[in-house]
Chains A and B, each alone.
Chain A
Amino acid sequence: MAEITLDNLAHSYSPNPKGEGDFALKELNHVWSDGEAYALLGASGCGKSTLLNIISGLLHPSQGRILFDGKDVTQATTADRNIAQVFQFPVVYDTMTVRANLAFPLKNRGADPKYIAERVQRIGAMIGMEAELDKRARGLTADAKQKISLGRGMVREDVNALLFDEPLTVIDPHMKWELRTQLKSLHHDFGHTMIYVTHDQTEALTFADKVVVMYDGRVVQIGTPQELFDTPQHTFVGYFIGSPGMNVIPATVTGKHAIVHGNEVELARGYDALDGKVEIGVRPEFVRLTDGPGLPVTIRRVEDVGRHKIVRADLFGSPINILAGEDQSISPDMTHISFDPARVNVYVNDWLKHGKAA
């Protein structure tokens, strides 16, 4: 187990990167604390897998250093880094039995056969495949194969870190939940540093102590699920986390007020004069549908999802989402919305602007 430090790290797949746009991973400084479980969250193609492969040593960064417990491993091979990684699509050794598959990483490192037998039995039980241990891996379902891949990732106890690259994509929803729970309890029991790449926010929020949100090759926010929900540092985080995501509305801000198309919106904090693209962000949870006063909206449709209703509406021509309670009736005269002032965030050029408490 190790603390992993990324120092000035950046990566470009082109040999002579010209501008920032050529970098799949923009300059990054970060310390992954020893023994924490992180989720790396972002849309496809935002650099998550690149970052993961750099940490595991499958890819060497164009710039910067990686340190494991303060030791520079930037040029070290994957084997030397002693890392376990599970990939998106199941990788199993077809001709071997399930047991041999699970034993493979230990055997290659010359572990004691007695220990291997014990350990494999335990992992087999953990992934729920004890009964199939002596079956050949070939011919198993994709689910089962991915469970073997997960098992192979977890079989070594002394790894510096466990990396998961969207490992549950091919698993069916019920099993997904179960395996995620097992990963979490595994983390609890052994305290490995874990990094879990995903584009599924539920997966990220349930698995991790801390979620790292990436956007366009950049880490935009690192925080607990609560922090990501309450104070998204970037409009992307607001939009990506939550369902539906945060409403982002163009506005001008002066002092303790925001002006949206000539209508005044009260804020909880005061702001100095702001330059650039100014927007306010409000989560649908904190938008209230009223019969006035407030901002005028036109309701497009109401989706009842069981626990609550999602109201899709138009605010000065752009869509806005409102969350209404299941027991709240929505009547035709509800043509206005108001915000919870404490929950309105102000963004300048997509980044959160902190106001002064009044």
Chain B
Amino acid sequence: MPESYNYNPYSSPSDAVKAELSEIDASIRAAAIFFVISAIGWLMLGTVFALLAAVKSHSPDFADAYEFLTFGRVRSAHLNAMALGWASNIIFAVGLWIMARLCRAPIQHKGILLIAGIFWNIGLTVGVFGILGGDMTSVEWLEIPRYATPLLAFSYTLIGVWGVIAFRFRKGDHVYVSQWYILAALFWFPWLYIVAQVMIIWFPVRGVVQSVTNWWFAHNVLGLWFTPMALATAYYLIPKVLGRPIYSYYLSVLGFWSLAIFYNWAGIHHLIGGPIPVWLISAGIVASVMMVIPVIVVGINHHMSILGMHKQVWRSPTLRFVVFGAISYTLVSLIGSSMALRTVNEITHFTHFTVGHAHHGVYAFFTMIMFGGVYYMMPRLLKCEWPSAGLIKLHFWGSAIGITIMVVALQVGGWIQGMEIKNAEIPFLEIVQNTIPWLKARSVSGIFLTAGHCAFALNFFWMLFAAGALRAKEGPTLFVNKEKENSLVL
């Protein structure tokens, strides 16, 4: 057996490898914990903004006296708190930790990471308060006012550079699939962000070229930043927890390159029917449909990797979240590809269907996988177990039920809304009235999601502050304890 076998990313029985990983974990501990704490803080704040926006969307009189909480601002504060606060911080935590582990070298210059992380969160805090205070740009996904964005771009670039340095000083020859995704995303996002800032905010290009740039950027936040990081996490965790390799190396290669080539052309489907050249729209539609290739390929690869081990998947908190996310990836992407078709888009464009779709992608796929990542990472960083399996269960069901209600409500309601808007006989106010029950269902879904997030935060801080006391606990926190499982088998 070649020596490199021992270093493959699935669980190794060798004590030497475990010791090496432990050393790497120790080197990145402070930075990773800082990022997780920031991420959870933003998740909770973003949840509050989300609840406010959800209730306001069907009850416009709710808290209507406060200008800073008007719908347009609070929904933008929600988006930025979640996309740049929760999602990006959790990527910095989980993604960089996976990168460090796969590079098999204790990280250098951890100070850079911490400084960049502190600046990132300061910039974001200034930015979100700026939005509420009335300085937002009204450019979708780039609402943060311009006095905060250079700080964000700077700290982001610092983190990207750190990632490349970590990669440069890796040990071993083999570069695992997760590393391709992470490396690519670390490189892509600052490019996208800086180009979009310059071309839309600082030196605005003429007319609708702004909109084209806007949607090239905004869709790629999902496509080239969240998606690769979530896929990298899934590719790392599935073999780790199940202790066997990914089904097919060649499917991984195909999935990665087809995503890299097609995803970044797809964003133009947000402008179908809009005042831009038709060839641009057609290019966007073709790319959106071609996304079926990476999605199916990754779907097959993940599915075959867990085949026959469903019991282990269900028992592991990590994999229960990750597999929920992986299945959602296939679903949301196929729905996304069909939404890009002109006949479908004519109905779904401009409706709540798109909002449902966005949450399907960012929450049911990305966020669920990252939750799984945190459940796997924290015990290894803190060397203690999660204090409560019950809270993890509450988190899983709160999130899973909540997001399912939200996606179904917004997509059914959005489809009806789209069909009605297309029929000019139906008065607009009647259509608005007809969306209200579905928007109320979204507020209900918010209660489930909030419960899940509270359970997550509670469990996390309990673990963080009581780490010493919990260290005595033996064995990992699973949903069914081993004795019970064995007795079931027997």
Co-complex (A, B): no
